């Protein structure tokens, strides 16, 4: 174990640390409570052995400060010659877990160290399990917001993100743009090449759309099926149209063969809407406006951008 030994008497520190080191423990020493608190956070010990009466900061105050961070729990054992019931109660109330009477009986110290080592092993196991659970939970949250095929944000996250950005735009009086796009004649593409190739096509389109959006605040999401949505905070209509045209060009430039399309390659149609939202605007309203523009693009020949 790593032990933080805190005592203002140099002789006590030397004797106890020597004994602990012979038992195989790694010992870090401090001469007062103030230094002990700093070492506690830096060294991350498995056990604190601490005197009560010390200059600058006593053991009780040091324990209270160590216990202030509720995400970290390490056993604290007080060393003291004051062992009246009120003294022991005050130590436990300050955050201590055990008491060892001074002068130290090394047989008792050895027994307590064996017990504390068992606690330290269990504590490390619990920390490992907690870290694993945190990683798993983080991954689950991530998966809940990501489309499994394309790796883009999914519809659930799109709706949440758009609501947040509408509220932000209203507060800051900024414009907000939404683009909806659809892969042209995608059903015919699936009928010609099969669903596996269709999945590959959607992943390629997703990559092309993502490559055009450079800002961290721009969100590209899979809206559903062969449809994609893009949310562009603080973006006016001219900027959104320019970005939409770049997306249209990026997809056609892939030159994915599509014999059943009038353009003979995979293309997309895009509808663009930009406005400074007010309290009457919600995510449904914004998406419907972009969808109406997308319908115009598809009706007027596809592989183009239309605005609403």
Mean pLDDT of 78-82: 86
The domain 155-307 is classified under which CATH number: 2.60.40.1290, 3.40.50.800, 3.30.565.10, 3.30.70.270? 3.30.70.270
Give the pLDDT confidence score for residue 125 in this predicted structure.
Answer: 80
**CATH 3.30.70.270 domain locations along the chain:** 155-307
Q: What is the pLDDT of residues 192-234, one digit of tens each?
A: 999 999 999 999 999 999 999 989 999 999 999 999 999 999 9
Give the pLDDT confidence score for residue 82 in this predicted structure.
Answer: 81
Mean pLDDT of 263-276: 96
Active-site residue flag, 226: yes
Give the pLDDT confidence score for residue 102 in this predicted structure.
Answer: 87
**CATH 3.40.50.2300 domain locations along the chain:** 2-140
Question: What CA–CA distances, in Å, run from 192 to 25, 206, 260, 261, 265?
Answer: 70, 21, 8, 11, 13
Of 139, 226, 257, 299, the active-site residue reads: 226
What would be the CATH architecture of the domain defined by 2-140? 3-Layer(aba) Sandwich (3.40)
Q: What is the pLDDT of residues 31-75, one digit of tens each?
A: 999 999 999 989 999 999 999 999 889 999 999 999 987 677 899
Question: What CA–CA distances, in Å, run from 172 to 168, 197, 238?
Answer: 6, 44, 20
pTM of the model: 0.59
Residue 84 has pLDDT above 70, yes or no: yes
Whole-angstrom distance, CA of residue 39 vs CA of residue 33: 10
Q: What is the pLDDT of residues 104-154, one digit of tens each?
A: 888 888 888 888 888 888 888 877 777 777 776 666 666 688 998 999 999
């Amino acid at each position: 174990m790593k032990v933080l030994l805190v005592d203002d008497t140099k002789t006590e520190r030397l004797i106890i640390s020597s004994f602990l080191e012979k038992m195989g423990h790694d010992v870090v020493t401090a001469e007062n409570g103030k230094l002990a608190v700093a070492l506690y956070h830096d060294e991350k010990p498995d056990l604190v052995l601490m005197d009560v009466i010390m200059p600058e900061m006593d053991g009780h105050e040091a324990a209270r400060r160590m216990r202030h961070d509720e995400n970290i729990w390490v056993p604290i054992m007080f060393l003291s010659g004051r062992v009246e019931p009120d003294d022991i109660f005050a130590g436990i109330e300050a955050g201590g877990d055990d008491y060892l009477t001074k002068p130290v009986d090394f047989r008792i110290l050895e027994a307590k160290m064996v017990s504390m080592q068992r606690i330290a092993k269990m504590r490390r196991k619990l920390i490992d399990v907690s870290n694993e659970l945190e990683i798993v939970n983080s991954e689950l949250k991530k998966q809940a917001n990501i489309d499994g095929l394309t790796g883009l944000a999914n519809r659930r996250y799109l709706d949440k993100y758009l609501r947040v950005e509408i509220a932000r735009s209203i507060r800051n009086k900024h414009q907000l743009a939404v683009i909806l796009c659809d892969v042209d004649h995608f059903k015919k593409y699936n009928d010609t090449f099969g669903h596996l190739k269709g999945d590959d096509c959607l992943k390629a389109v997703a990559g092309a759309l993502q490559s055009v959006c450079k800002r961290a605040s721009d969100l590209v999401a899979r809206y559903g099926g062969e449809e994609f949505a893009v949310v562009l905070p603080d973006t006016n209509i001219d900027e959104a149209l320019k970005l939409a045209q770049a997306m249209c060009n990026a997809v056609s430039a892939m030159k994915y063969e599509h014999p059943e399309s009038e353009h003979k390659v995979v293309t997309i149609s895009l509808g663009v809407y930009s406005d400074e939202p007010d309290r009457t605007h919600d995510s449904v309203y914004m998406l419907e406006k972009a969808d109406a523009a997308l319908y115009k693009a598809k009706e007027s020949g596809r592989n183009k951008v239309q605005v609403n």
